[in-house]
Amino acid sequence: MSIQIGRETLVLLLGVGLDEHHNHFSYMTQAELEILGLEVQTGRKADRVAEFIGRRLDHHPGLGFEIDIDPIYTAKG
């Protein structure tokens, strides 16, 4: 998720902690969301966003999944 404020963009990476028995038709609660990272950037280039995600995921090794961020796309390249 990103929010543009003037020339700067706040990049926000959220994690959703759901167990295998979670009912996917129910609403998420605030307790299930965790902010994994946030950063102010001067743009939304895909490579910078990918670097940010990679750095933040390095700080959370116990998440229990791997993510491939190689093809990542943003609205402005």
48-62 confidence digits (pLDDT tens): 877 888 888 887 777
The whole-angstrom separation of Cα 13 and Cα 7 is 20
Number of domains in the chain: 1
Q: By residue range, what is the domain housing residue 41?
A: 2-20+29-63
In this structure, is residue 71 part of a structural domain? no
pTM, full prediction: 0.61
Nearest to 11 by CA among 76, 62, 64, 70: 76
In this structure, is residue 43 part of a structural domain? yes
The whole-angstrom separation of Cα 9 and Cα 2 is 6
Phi and psi, residue 66, nearest 5°: -115, 150
In this structure, is residue 9 part of a structural domain? yes
In this structure, is residue 39 part of a structural domain? yes
In this structure, is residue 77 part of a structural domain? no
Residues of the chain short of pLDDT 70, as ranges, are 43-44, 63-77
In this structure, is residue 55 part of a structural domain? yes
- What integer pLDDT is reported at residue 23 of this predicted model? 79
In this structure, is residue 12 part of a structural domain? yes
Kind plus residue range of the DSSP H or E element containing 58:
helix 46-58
- What integer pLDDT is reported at residue 66 of this predicted model? 60
